A and B are shown apart, each in its own frame.
Chain A
């Protein structure tokens, strides 16, 4: 559980839009960044 995951504002916005908790997303981006695709991969299939 990271206090503040490394993600750009656009990625944070996507997480908000999809209802994903960024702190639960395993980062695959450069320098431990959470990417948009990381967020989408965790999107709850409802």
Chain B
């Protein structure tokens, strides 16, 4: 039986950094992966979706140049070529992860892991052979999550699809229905809408992007409608019937009324489910909660001291950067360092058009905590750089404690929101006050100035808008 200091199950954005960090800290480490290294994020999540989104953005911009005096005609999308380009990026990145693991001295084995003891893992390879491994210190569960399937909309890989297929389509559906108005549904739905698909969003709850500042969501909704899309809220997709021409008639219930909408493709994006089943966790006494998440303490430890859990499988938010941070923390704890989860906030970036990015408390969350807040808001419509880019939708909104002026949350909808949120995250981690943001000189003309101005606006001292 091969022995390691630590065994990491899963090579996604949680598992592979964990294995690399363990190796950096001179631990003998094995990383087990049953599919491709890089996990969901690299293979069919974050990276592929962002590649398609950037292509969609270019496609749209290329046709919107008339206002700037740029005349373009006959812009065409070759979906096949776009997919080949995307595949190339994925290949390059996953190859890079493999090299990083190897370069740091981490061993990688391809197969399905079963936890058979607090420090024992069996790996079943593709040919059915089983190899046994032992960890002297710890096992890290980094098995991620999988797409939730609705019984009435079983995936067929072609007409009824999940995110995995949606980032690999080699055609643009004429009519696309997205079941689930969350991050994945809106990001991918808007990609195909930009390429000319008619988009229909069906959301069971009263709001799209539940939990996100509704002012931000409104801007994105407006864009979907402006492009000819339809949004059904408080609506349920009941089932579908195949039509003769290959399309599907989807029966939905909205406002108590039933109606049938004919579409070509249905993207089911109602969420992700933690991959905690079939690992043998319950057998070795690891607690798994009702939703399938594996609860952990601030050291990423489960209730079994030698078993750690990180990333999607250990609970929300289901974000790659959260998984990576937990991977690093778990590795350091296992190697005997004083590490723990101690972040102020985890930023979220939503790559809709325009982008939404958010960190810390929303106005509603702060008020629910009984805090008195000051709100600062700065619209991109009056920002020189945004005008120069011809992308003036959206705003920056800052939520601060009215008494102390400490920044509690930042919510951005608009161009490059995902980039700008990093500064806001740093502000929260540094326990910045509104003045810290407004007194920091931001270069002009840049989108980042909007953060400085929003902070000033919260204090009644913005220069480029009225301070009301």
Q: Which A residues have a C-beta under 8 Å from some C-beta of B? A: 8-10, 13
Within 8 A of A (CB), among B413-468: 430-436, 439-440
A13 to B405, CA, bound (A): 13
In the complex, what residues of B have CB within 8 A of residue A13's CB? 435, 439
Closest residue to A8 on the B side, CB-wise? B436
Q: Check B405 against A10 for contact (C-beta < 8 Å).
A: yes
Q: Which residues of B contact A8 (CB under 8 A)?
A: 430-433, 436
Chain A residues near B439 (CB-CB < 8 A):
9-10, 13
Interchain CA distance A8-B436 in the complex, whole Å = 6
- Interface positions of B (Cβ within 8 A of A): 405, 430-436, 439-440
C-alpha spacing A10/B436, complex, angstroms: 5
* Complex alpha-carbon distance, A34 and B440, angstroms: 18
By secondary structure, the A interface counts as helix
Determine how close the nearest CB of chain B comes to the CB of A2; give it in whole angstroms.
19
Chain B proximity of A10: nearest CB distance (Å): 4
Q: Which residues of A contact B430 (CB under 8 A)?
A: 8
Q: Which residues of A contact B434 (CB under 8 A)?
A: 10
Q: How far is the CA of A8 from the CA of B405 in the complex (A)?
A: 13
Q: Which residues of B contact A10 (CB under 8 A)?
A: 405, 432-436, 439
Q: How far is the CA of A10 from the CA of B433 in the complex (A)?
A: 7
Best-surrounded residue of A8, A9, A10 (most CB of chain B within 10 A): A10
Could you list 7 further interchain pairs (A-B, Cβ under 8 angstroms) beyond the known A8-B432, A9-B436, A9-B439? A8-B433, A8-B436, A10-B405, A10-B432, A10-B433, A10-B436, A13-B435
Q: Which 6 A-B pairs have the closest CB atoms?
A: A10-B433, A9-B439, A10-B435, A9-B436, A8-B436, A10-B436
A–B pairs, 15, beta carbons within 8 Å: A8-B430, A8-B431, A8-B432, A8-B433, A8-B436, A9-B439, A9-B440, A10-B432, A10-B433, A10-B434, A10-B435, A10-B436, A10-B439, A13-B435, A13-B439
Residues of chain B within 8 A of A9, CB atoms compared: 435-436, 439-440
With both chains docked as a complex, state the minimum distance between the C-beta of A23 and any C-beta of chain B, in angstroms: 19
- Expressed in whole angstroms, the Cα–Cα distance for A13 and B434 within the complex equals 12
Nearest neighbor of A9 in chain B, beta-carbon distance: B439
- In whole angstroms, what is the CA distance A9 to B436 when docked? 5
Chain A residue with Cβ nearest B405: A10
Report B401 CB to chain A, min CB distance, Å. 13
Give B147 Cβ to nearest chain A Cβ, in Å. 41
Q: How far is the CB of B59 from chain A (nearest CB, A)?
A: 42
Nearest A residue (CB) for B427: A8
The distance from the CB of A27 to the nearest CB of chain B, in whole angstroms, is 14
Q: State how many angstroms separate the Cβ of B406 from the closest Cβ of chain A.
A: 9
Distance (whole angstroms) from the CB of A18 to the closest CB of chain B: 15
Taken together as a complex, chains A and B put the C-alpha atoms of A13 and B436 apart, in Å, by 9
* CA of A9 to CA of B431, assembled, Å: 12
A26 to chain B, nearest CB (A): 19
B389 CB to closest chain A CB, in angstroms?
29
Q: Report A17 CB to chain B, min CB distance, Å.
A: 11
Report chain A residues within 8 Å CB of B432: 8, 10
